[in-house]
Amino acid sequence: MISARNVRKQFRTSSVRATSLKEQIIRRRAEQSEDFVAISDFSADIMPGSTVGLIGPNGSGKSTMLKILSGILRPTSGKVTVEGRIASLLELGAGFNGELTGRENVYLNASLLGLSRLETDAAMESIIEFSELAEFIDQPVKHYSSGMYVRLGFAVAIHVDPDVLLVDEVLAVGDEAFQRKCMEKIQEFQENGKTILFVSHSLSQVQELCTRAIVLNKGVIVDDSEPEGAIETLRRIMGTDEPPKPLTLVPDGGIEFGRIFVSTPHGDRPVAAIAPREDFDIVTEVRVDDHWASLIDRVEVMAVGPLDLPLFSATAYRNDLPADSGRWWMRFSFGARMPIRAVIRVSVQVFDRDGKTLAHTRSAQVHRIEDHLAPGLMLLDHQMTTGLDDAAPAGVTAVRTGVLR
């Protein structure tokens, strides 16, 4: 069990660096020491046996938080409790002494992690074997590469039989085969009910290992949810979440997309999250000019999950659509008994009679469906109403009920 309550960490940073003694004396009084807030308010409970990812842009405070949890740093305020023996794999070489040999560092490291000399002796063979450093184990570690440091550090950490494992980035270093081995070891830890807090740049590792992820940005928790959702949040923060430009194969703005979003039933605003098995609507607007209004055969909306994989779709056919040009809106009401857990966006595609795409876009908005099951494909009952220029319900031109295929 890891528990953090209102943890705050400030670092004192001097903004002026004196270069000479004279300057030092002159500046002493003027020197400004500023408090840099690396963690503003971190509260989270991590249950025994769970694996939680901690992700965020560089400098967001991930390493600082792990150091606080491992007891290397003290929080400025707030409280942390960690039950059980902690093994932490923090920054490269932390806990190593360059002058000592690999073997001596194993003793040093293991004792820092709470292992007795005798216990370390018993584990030594296995530690060396896991690290794959037998040849180098009696050389000073200052000659080691970063990958070798990580191997040794990881080998020691897993041999102290910790209850709690804190892992910071380290799996990014080293060759792929060793990374695999570490991942397998971490999975073994999971199976044995250890508690793991895992910082990684590799979002796929986070997705593979974690059941939950906390997103830090500038020392603040901005999301704490299932990994897919958290990863979406991170991508949004980092600006790597730009939706593709609408693709229109029609000249001169003949077909343009308006608002596209998921709302509560009859709602007119996007919702961030859909509670498990809650009804919801997908609303889509397409502006169509005189020429193209008659050439559009159908408009398909599709909910797409991670990697833009389709989850479910619904289509407004020619007869469902307004006959005239203007701002078409379509509302697809899903009576969701939706046993999925996914992060979705809405993708909209406009087709002509030959099945050719006239225009295509995907919403930037992310909506989260929070059920506790695996993502997947499904069929959903839905009802549809369409109309022209907001004139609902009088302007409803079609009501159709269908089951999706």
Nearer to ligand ADP, 150 or 350 (CB): 150
Of these partners, Mg ion, ligand ADP, none, which one is at the site of residue 14 (CB under 5 to 8 Å by kind)?
none
Q: Which of 51, 64, 205, 333 binds ligand ADP (CB under 6 A)?
A: 64
Q: Does 56 participate in binding ligand ADP (rule CB under 6 A)?
A: yes
Nearer to Mg ion, 63 or 190 (CB): 63
Nearer to ligand ADP, 62 or 212 (CB): 62
Of these partners, ligand ADP, Mg ion, none, which one is at the site of residue 102 (CB under 5 to 8 Å by kind)?
none
Residues 6+ apart with CB under 8 A from 346: 260, 261, 262, 282, 284, 301, 302, 303, 304, 362, 363, 365, 367
Residues 6+ apart with CB under 8 A from 166: 66, 69, 70, 86, 87, 88, 89, 90, 196, 197
Nearer to Mg ion, 63 or 361 (CB): 63
Q: Does 200 participate in binding Mg ion (rule CB under 5 A)?
A: no
Q: Max alpha carbon distance in the chain (Å)?
A: 85
Nearer to ligand ADP, 11 or 180 (CB): 11
Question: Does residue 168 contact residue 182 with C-beta atoms inside 8 Å?
Answer: no
Stretch that binds ligand ADP, among 41-49, 51-59, 280-288, 381-389 (CB under 6 A): 51-59
Of these partners, ligand ADP, Mg ion, none, which one is at the site of residue 38 (CB under 5 to 8 Å by kind)?
ligand ADP
Residues 20-39 binding ligand ADP (CB under 6 A) are 36, 38
* CA-closest candidate to residue 200, choices 238, 172, 165, 239: 172
Q: Which of 48, 59, 253, 265 binds ligand ADP (CB under 6 A)?
A: 59
Size, binding site for Mg ion by CB under 5 A: 2
CB of 56 to ligand ADP, least distance (A): 5
Q: Does 63 participate in binding Mg ion (rule CB under 5 A)?
A: yes
Q: Exposed (0-12), middle (13-18) or buried (19+): which is 53, by Cβ within 10 Å? A: buried
Q: Does 240 participate in binding ligand ADP (rule CB under 6 A)?
A: no
Q: Which of 50, 60, 386, 397 binds ligand ADP (CB under 6 A)?
A: 60
CB of 169 to Mg ion, least distance (A): 6
Stretch that binds Mg ion, among 2-10, 55-63, 122-130, 278-286 (CB under 5 A): 55-63
Question: Which residue of the chain is nearest Mg ion when measured via CB?
Answer: 63
Nearer to ligand ADP, 215 or 260 (CB): 215
Size, binding site for ligand ADP by CB under 6 A: 12
Q: Which of 7, 44, 52, 62 binds ligand ADP (CB under 6 A)?
A: 62
Binding site for Mg ion (CB under 5 A): 62-63
